[in-house]
Amino acid sequence: MIKPKKQLSIEIVKDKSSVLAIARSLPHFFSNEGLASMTKDLKTHILRGAFMDNTLVGFVILRKADMRSLEISWLAILPSYQNQGIGKKLVKESLKYFTDKKYIVCYVKTLAETANDDGYAKTRAFYKSLGFQALEIINPYPGWSDENPCQILATALPLSQK
């Protein structure tokens, strides 16, 4: 018998503890300090989830940085669900909603290429595949240690829907 294809949907997340469970499964990207900061942000920032057959497999947390600009404050896809286009769909659909609400810029702060970290090389390639451009590296970034140079990537909205 042919198994039905799994259904991916992008939705509002009600159970915030499952968001933290996904972040904990990626310790290279989310330290205990990061998790504490994410817990705080979850109270005020915007959260959208990627659900595969009703199970949360990824999330994006967005902050309204200004009247027309958004920041991606946190983003993760469960390791076993990565490289299947889920992150791309999650970010595109979440940003599309805000583009319709007149947001014209989106940016993200991530670990810079000068840190030579393979994990984050994939992260930056992911953002670039969505149309983000590297703006500048700031080191030290306030609140970040010297070993973690911060790279800012930004894109105009709307994103290309390709």
Ligand X SMILES: CC(C)(COP(=O)(O)OP(=O)(O)OC[C@H]1O[C@@H](n2cnc3c(N)ncnc32)[C@H](O)[C@@H]1OP(=O)(O)O)[C@@H](O)C(=O)NCCC(=O)NCCS
Q: Which residues in this chain contact ligand X in the complex, by CB under 6 A?
A: 26, 29, 75-77, 82-88, 108, 110, 122-123, 125-126, 129
Strand pairing class (105-111; 69-77): parallel
Query: Judged by CB, which is closer to ligand X: 63, or 88?
Result: 88
Cα(26)–Cα(34) distance, rounded to whole angstroms?
11
Query: Judged by CB, which is closer to ligand X: 24, or 122?
Result: 122
Cα(111)–Cα(41) distance, rounded to whole angstroms?
19
Query: Judged by CB, which is closer to ligand X: 22, or 157?
Result: 22
Please state the closest distance from residue 102 (CB atom) to ligand X, in A: 25
Please state the closest distance from residue 137 (CB atom) to ligand X, in A: 14
Query: Judged by CB, which is closer to ligand X: 152, or 157?
Result: 152
> What are the Cα distances from residue 156, in Å, to 12, 41, 78, 100, 120?
24, 24, 27, 13, 22
130 Cβ neighbours under 8 A, 6+ residues apart = 88, 91, 92, 155, 159
Q: What residue is closest to ligand X based on CB?
A: 87
Please state the closest distance from residue 1 (CB atom) to ligand X, in A: 28
